[in-house]
Structure 1
Amino acid sequence: MSGQMELVSARTVHGPDPVPNLAAADRIVFSNSGGKDSIVAMDEGVRLADAAGVRDRIVVLHIDLGRTPRGHSVEWPDTADLARRQADHYGLPFAVRRMAKWPSLFHRIRARGQFPHLMTRFCTSEKRAVAHRFITEQVNALGVIGRPARIVHVMGFRAEESRARARRPAIEVDRRASNGRRTVTQWYPVLRWSTAEVWQRIRERGLPYHWAYDAGMSRLSCSLCVLASVPDLTCAAGLRPELAREYADLEEEMGVPFRRELSMAEVIRRTGGAA
């Protein structure tokens, strides 16, 4: 019964969301984190791009968040390889980009002297900057003359994930990324999908997904994300104890906790490890 209730998603109640004019797009950029929502957004986006006859205008971008000073990936291991395989699944060109100034998000946190939190999500700002630079590369390569290049930027945001995302329209102009040379339209193909619907599409289409979900994670994101649920943090710290230890040491070095109400040292204790 609960599974049936989950399948009554916002899109079931409100009907299908609008789709941008893909035939008019000069380039369609899929931002792919390797997570479940990204691959389903890609699957749905490719389906609609095929209907418009413009699959050849798609490129897939993965933003690699780098490695810590001790050599641990900030993302889950194998995420970039998975994102490449997901692009290969559709025969799409694939690119990886990283932050220009910092070797990793960990280094960025250390330089700032604090962890991101809900009101200062500088981790998101760093990823957005990488995506905007990549879009600039695409516009330069297109060489459109006489009008702004038309870019559609596709992301796997879902309304269930946060109140802020629930307030978003499925299509919106990214005014921070748009300028006289380009108009960037943000598109969220799975915005109104439920978690159950996402997994149903993955199973039905045999889409490649990350092993961390089978290990107990509900979301992918960074392995240790400040916005993750406590069960996800505890699960991740148990699966990646050395990375958790490095974050705990960073807490001690900076004199600030991982989250205001929850330190990484406490997360490690909850896994049964030594803090």
Structure 2
Amino acid sequence: MNALIAASHHTVSASPAQGVQKRAGALSDTPVPPTTDVNTWTRLVFARLSQRYEHSSGSDLLAWAIETFGSGLSIGTGLGASGIVLMDLALAVNPEVDIFYIDTGYFFPETLDLVRRLEDCYQRSLRRVASEISIPAQEKRFGPALYANDPNLCCQVRKVLPLKKALADSTAWVTALRHDQSATRKEVRMVQWNERYNVVKIAPLAYWTEADIWQYIHEKGLPYNTLHDRGYPSIGCWPCTRPVEQGADLRAGRWPGLEKQECGLHWELTEQNLGLAPA
């Protein structure tokens, strides 16, 4: 596994929320065409950046992002194996980088234990983000077992709206998405503009494989969720996650029996009016 390289030497402005396009444009060597609107140019810039880092280890992209966006950068982890690797790589660059996780209120006990072990390991806290609607309030409003009756709405309440809150003051969002995780993730770009959350979305581990992830974890002796050792390759909320047979699709245990494959953090789940105020 390639080691992290030093961060780039480009100057970063004092306010990470300002001049994002200008800094990214300089790094991608893509001038602003006089006849191209800003939105089109922005997509071109980040497409060029994504191509630049496509064949790298991903750690150099992460180092660039941390320096470029400074305190405007937030790393989101779902506390899975890939998220653990992402955290470790990021903390090697900046031990104070913002790292958050979304506590849905339906965590397995093993997941809660992992949070404690990670905070002990790195001697720092992780930013906990949660829905403003408690589970009792959710049950009163939508009925019991929303996760079974309308799992898309449950994910919207417990994950998507909290994510919007988590990224409200962020300029860049770093995720642990990988191409080999599912069919919906095969086209993930390493750098792109995300209009939904109004941030630069970065996926340094896009080209890593499941084997790469576990090799890194074992070589470094990193904490991980013990459910992985009991047939859970992908771990979400306890009502919606099941163990799978060895060799099954990595996300086969998520929402078993349903066509649903994603929680909605990275892709829109539905166009229907969910009856919820914007975050």
TM, length-normalised to structure 2: 0.57
Q: How does 1:140-219 map to 2 (within 5 A)?
A: 151-178=171-198, 184-219=199-234
Structure 1, 14-23 or 91-100: larger mean CA deviation: 14-23
SS at match of 2:185: helix
Pair 1:46–1:113, CA change in 2 (3 A): closer
2:122 is matched with which residue?
90
1:24 is matched with which residue?
68
CA contact (8 A) 2:176 2:203 kept: yes
SS at match of 1:100: coil
1:259 equivalent in alignment to 2:267? no
What do the CA deviations read for 1:75-115 (whole angstroms, capped 9, x no partner)?
A: 22131341243244334442212111241798467458724
Pair 1:258–1:188, CA change in 2 (3 A): closer
1:8 is matched with which residue?
none
Report how many aligned residue pairs link the two structures.
190
Q: How does 1:19-168 map to 2 (within 5 A)?
A: 19=62, 20-25=64-69, 26-47=71-92, 50=93, 54-56=94-96, 58-66=97-105, 74-103=106-135, 107=139, 110-111=145-146, 114-116=149-151, 120=152, 123=155, 126-136=158-168, 139=169, 151-168=171-188
Pair 1:124–1:111, CA change in 2 (3 A): closer
Pair 1:122–1:60, CA change in 2 (3 A): same
CA contact (8 A) 1:32 1:155 kept: yes
Select 2:55's aligned residue among 15, 38, 54.
15
What do the CA deviations read for 1:123-162 (whole angstroms, capped 9, x no partner)?
A: 16741321221233xx3xxxxxxxxxx6322222111111
CA contact (8 A) 1:30 1:60 kept: yes
SS at match of 2:99: strand
Pair 1:158–1:37, CA change in 2 (3 A): same
Once residues 201 and 104 of structure 1 are traced to their aligned partners in structure 2, the CA distance between those partners, rounded to angstroms, is 40
Report the RMSD for the aligned CA atoms in angstroms: 3.2
1:70 is matched with which residue?
none
CA contact (8 A) 2:232 2:244 kept: no
Pair 1:101–1:75, CA change in 2 (3 A): same
CA contact (8 A) 1:62 1:83 kept: no
Once residues 105 and 222 of structure 1 are traced to their aligned partners in structure 2, the CA distance between those partners, rounded to angstroms, is 18
TM, length-normalised to structure 1: 0.58
Once residues 219 and 258 of structure 1 are traced to their aligned partners in structure 2, the CA distance between those partners, rounded to angstroms, is 12
Identity rate, percent: 22
SS at match of 1:21: helix
Structure 1, 190-199 or 150-159: larger mean CA deviation: 150-159
CA contact (8 A) 2:147 2:240 kept: no
Once residues 191 and 125 of structure 1 are traced to their aligned partners in structure 2, the CA distance between those partners, rounded to angstroms, is 27
Pair 1:177–1:101, CA change in 2 (3 A): same
Letter in 2 for 1:203: H
Pair 1:103–1:212, CA change in 2 (3 A): same
